[in-house]
Structure formats: C-alpha cells, structure tokens
C-alpha cells in the first residue's frame, strides 16, 4: 500500500511488467488513488478475495500464475462479497478475444499502449457504477429493514415473530431442541394514552422495546406483536430459562421510571410464557395461543407478573374475563 489517505479510492494494479506497472502506479497516485500492487495473478486474486479489498482493479490479461480473465472468472463466482469493477489491459485487438474477456467477467478493457486520459475516464466510470450499486444496495437494505421491523420501536414486526416461531417449532419437531415464547403486554397502556397523549405512549413503547432488547441474548428475537403487546422467541430454552428471562424483563420495566416529555411514567408489564417441551404435540399456532392465555392469566391475577403455561390442559380465564378485571387508576 502506497498511501494511507482514508478518503482515497482504492485500486489494485496487477501487472508483471515493471515498466508498465511503474507507469500505472505513478498515474494513479497522481490522480489521488490509493494503490495496491500485484505482480502475478495468484497474488492479485489473493488480494481481491481479502477483507477490505480494492473495489477497482486494473488487470493485465497475460500474467504469470493466473491470467487476468481467469481472475475475473474466479471473483465473479463469489456473490457474497462487494462487487469489484475490473478493467482489463490487453495487447490483444481481436474482437473475439475482447468478447471472451467480457463474458468471463471483465467490466471494461483498454488496449496497450493505452492513453492516460482514457484510462482515467474509464476508472471514473467504474467508480460511478460502484457508487450507484452501493446506493441501490443501501436502499434495498432499508426497504428490507422496513418490511421486517416495526417503524416505531425498531424491533422485529409481527411477521418476523410468526416466522421465528414456525422456524423454531420445526426445529423442535426435527431435533427436539426446546424453545420458549414470551408474550408481553404493557399494563394499563390505554390509561397512558388517555392521560398523557399518544406521543407519550410512543415514547413508552420505544423505551420498553429497548429494555427488552437489552435483556435478551443476541440470537433471541424481540418483536412488536401489535399495539402494546410484544413477543419474544427464546431459542434453545427450557421453562426455567424462559421464565427467568421473562422475570428479568419484568424487573427491567418496573425498576426505573420511563422519562417522557410529560414527565416520568411508572410502568409494569405482564408476561405469558409457553415452552415447546411442555406443549406435547401442539403446533406453532397452538403454542402461541398457549402463551397468549398464560398472559391473560397473569393479567387476571393482578398484572406485573409472569405466568408459565405448564401443559396443553392449562386452565385459564378467557381474554374476555381477563379484560373484566378492574383496572386501578394509580401506577403499580
């Protein structure tokens, strides 16, 4: 590496002829590129397959070890890395040879001896294409994020939650690896909206999601299930792990007030926990229903608690009866 300027565009020169290599290097440094040199094809491929590799490459067609077109073919096989724009330098002028190089993955070519300004212009074209591709990928990533995440809280949305439950249930059926589902409901959330307004309620939901996410493991999934309800899929977990996580989140929500523009708001939450190993032959939908019923039993018993569904015969009040439990006006 001949330059450490962080704002410079990185480019690889792969050229075994010392005179041509020196000329290319001097031109590219003059044009403010960050230059890496390879003197044979094997070294060039190793550089282009490394982390943080240059995204622009000027490859000589004929090199020891591996030809430039062979390098093109190899790097195009890798779809898991950022795209590399390849400019092929060649002394060949036959149309068939040029087409062969482009078919194998080169983006452009320049015949020797080349014109310096033409080289510069073609590298600028390559950089514009790379910048455009990066912009499109960033936009695609943003659209994908919006399609899979709740816009208010930033956690996964209901669709992701249901996919995660189905995936873990299939794994449980196949490998008998137990998993847990935690259904969470913010207690008396309607009172917050009615008393302080929906902006305060939004702040509460965002902070509640943040506290839940801080409590789980990296491979667990926190989702906004709808309204003030959240769902957590606990991977590779038995009933003690799942219930302990529910309690950890419950304490995290209860222990500190929620700072809002309307002042501090004290909150609690109720939790229903279902574990696949306790659910017999129940399918994923029935397991979700079991967690939902456990949640409403927790609300029926006074809220700010976790209830574990212990069997498919789990006895519980219905949603309707749980909703009839009197709501006290003061914070818990």
Instruction: Please give the Cα distance from 86 to 160 (Å, whole number).
Output: 39
Q: Dihedral sign for Cα 94, 99, 105, 108, please.
A: positive
Q: How far is CA 237 from CA 221, 225, 234, 282, in A?
A: 13, 21, 6, 17
The CA-based angle 165-176-276, given to 5 degrees, is 45
The residues facing 230 across adjacent strands are 184, 224
**15, 168, 228, 239: which is the annotated catalytic residue?**
228
pLDDT of residue 5: 41
Instruction: Please give the Cα distance from 255 to 269 (Å, whole number).
Output: 11
Domains, in order of start, for the chain: 9-145 (3.40.50.2300), 158-323 (3.30.70.270)
228 is catalytic: yes
pTM of the model: 0.64
Instruction: Please give the Cα distance from 203 to 259 (Å, whole number).
Output: 8
- Helix axis angle for 95-103 and 68-77, nearest 10°, is 30
Output 332 or 257, whichever has higher pLDDT. Answer: 257
Instruction: Please give the Cα distance from 293 to 315 (Å, whole number).
Output: 9
Q: What is the pLDDT of residues 255-301, one digit of tens each?
A: 999 999 999 999 999 999 999 987 767 889 999 999 999 999 999 99
Q: How far is it between the farthest Cα atoms of the chain? A: 88
Reduced DSSP (H G I as helix, E B as strand, rest coil) percent helix, strand, coil of the chain, to 5: 50, 20, 35
C-alpha gyration radius of the chain: 30
The CA-based angle 123-129-135, given to 5 degrees, is 140
Q: What is the DSSP letter of 302?
A: T
Q: What is the pLDDT of residues 58-107, one digit of tens each?
A: 999 889 989 888 999 898 888 778 899 999 988 776 777 778 878 888 89
């Amino acid at each position: 590496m001949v330059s450490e300027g962080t704002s410079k565009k990185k480019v690889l020169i792969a050229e075994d002829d010392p005179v041509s290599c020196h000329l290319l290097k001097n031109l590219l440094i003059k044009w403010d590129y960050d230059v890496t040199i390879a003197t044979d094809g094997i070294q060039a491929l190793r550089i282009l397959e490394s982390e943080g590799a240059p995204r622009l490459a000027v490859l000589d067609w004929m090199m020891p070890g591996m030809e430039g077109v062979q390098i093109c073919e190899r790097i195009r096989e890798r779809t898991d890395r950022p795209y590399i724009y390849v400019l092929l330098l060649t002394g060949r002028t036959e149309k068939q040879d040029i087409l062969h190089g482009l078919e194998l993955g080169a983006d452009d070519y320049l015949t020797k001896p080349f014109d310096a300004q033409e080289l510069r212009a073609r590298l600028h074209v390559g950089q514009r294409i790379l910048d455009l591709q990066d912009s499109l990928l960033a936009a695609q990533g943003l659209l994908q994020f919006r399609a899979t995440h709740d816009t208010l809280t930033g956690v996964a949305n209901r669709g992701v939650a249901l996919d995660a439950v189905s995936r873990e249930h299939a794994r449980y059926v196949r490998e008998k690896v137990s998993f847990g589902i935690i259904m969470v409901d913010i207690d008396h959330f309607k009172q917050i909206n009615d008393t302080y307004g929906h902006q305060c309620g939004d702040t509460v939901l965002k902070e509640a999601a943040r506290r839940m996410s801080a409590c789980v493991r990296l491979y667990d999934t926190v989702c906004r299930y709808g309204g003030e309800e959240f769902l957590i899929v606990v991977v590779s977990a038995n009933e003690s792990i799942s219930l302990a996580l529910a309690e950890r989140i419950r304490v995290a929500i209860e222990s500190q007030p929620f700072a809002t523009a309307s002042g501090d708001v004290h909150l609690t939450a109720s939790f229903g926990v279902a574990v696949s190993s306790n659910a017999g032959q129940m399918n994923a939908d029935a397991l979700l229903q079991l967690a939902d019923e456990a949640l409403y039993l927790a609300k029926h018993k006074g809220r700010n608690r976790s209830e574990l569904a212990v069997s498919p015969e789990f006895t519980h009040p219905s949603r309707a009866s749980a909703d009839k439990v009197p709501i006290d006006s003061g914070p818990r």
